[in-house]
Amino acid sequence: MKTRAITVPNKLGIHARPAALIVRKASEYLSEVFISNGVDEVNAKSIMGVMTLAAAGGTTVKISAEGPDEEKALEGVCEVVESGFGEEML
Partner 1 sequence: MREEYPAPPVFSIQDMVFHAGDMLGLRCLTGSLGLEKPLASPEVSRPGLCLTGYTHKFLSNKIQIFGETEITMLEAMDTDARRRALANVFAFPVVCSVVSKGLSPPEELLEVSRKSGSALFLSPRDTTPLINDITGFLREVFAPRKAIHGSLVDVFGEGILCVGRSAIGKSEAVLGLLERGHRLIADDMVSVRRNGDILVGSGDPTTRYYMELRGLGFVNVPELFGIGAVKERQQIDLLVRLVDADRMGEMDRSGLETMTDDILGLKVPLVEIPVLPGRNVTVLLEVAAMLNIRKKNTGSSWSEQLNKELLEKLQQRRGPKEPP
Does 61 sit near partner 1 (CB under 8 A)?
Answer: no
Which position among 38, 58, 68, 86 is part of the footprint of partner 1 (CB under 8 A)?
58
Active site residue 15: yes
Which of 72, 74, 70, 51 minimizes the C-alpha distance to 62?
Answer: 74
Which of 82, 89, 44, 33 minimizes the C-alpha distance to 60?
Answer: 82
Distance CA 37, CA 35 (A): 7
Does 20 sit near partner 1 (CB under 8 A)?
Answer: yes
- Residues binding partner 1 (CB under 8 A): 7-8, 11-17, 19-20, 23-24, 27-28, 47, 51, 54-60, 89-90
